[in-house]
């Protein structure tokens, strides 16, 4: 029962550390944690009938998909805060 919660916390902590290292705007941890918690819980529930030890694969797959969805949802918010300036990076390349 605790595996999806702990795995979701691990996914969220990894995203928070990455955002901190890259000096990006960090969304509230509660909102950041919602995506991997949901993905890991659904992954565990789908795979559990095939064996309790197999939930790791479901949590890994759907937790990763949930984190990708979280990044796509937060990308416009990040670009709006001028932390991600795509035009500037394209003009200084050459």
Give me the residue spans of the domains in the chain.
3-79
37-46 pLDDT tens trace: 999 999 999 9
20-58 pLDDT tens trace: 887 776 777 777 888 899 999 999 999 999 988 889 999
Q: How far apart are CA 55 and CA 36, in angstroms?
A: 14
- Write down the number of H helices and E strands in the chain: 4, 0
Q: What is the pTM of this model?
A: 0.71
* Rg of the chain, C-alpha, whole Å: 16
């Amino acid at each position: 029962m605790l595996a999806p919660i702990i795995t979701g916390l691990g996914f969220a902590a990894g995203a928070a550390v990455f955002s901190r290292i890259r000096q990006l705007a960090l969304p509230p941890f509660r909102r950041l944690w919602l995506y991997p918690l949901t993905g890991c819980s659904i992954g565990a529930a789908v795979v559990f009938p095939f064996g309790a030890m197999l939930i790791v694969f479901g949590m890994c797959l759907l937790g990763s998909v949930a984190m990708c969805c979280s990044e796509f949802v937060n990308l416009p918010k990040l670009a709006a805060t001028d932390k991600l300036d795509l035009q500037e990076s394209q003009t200084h390349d050459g």
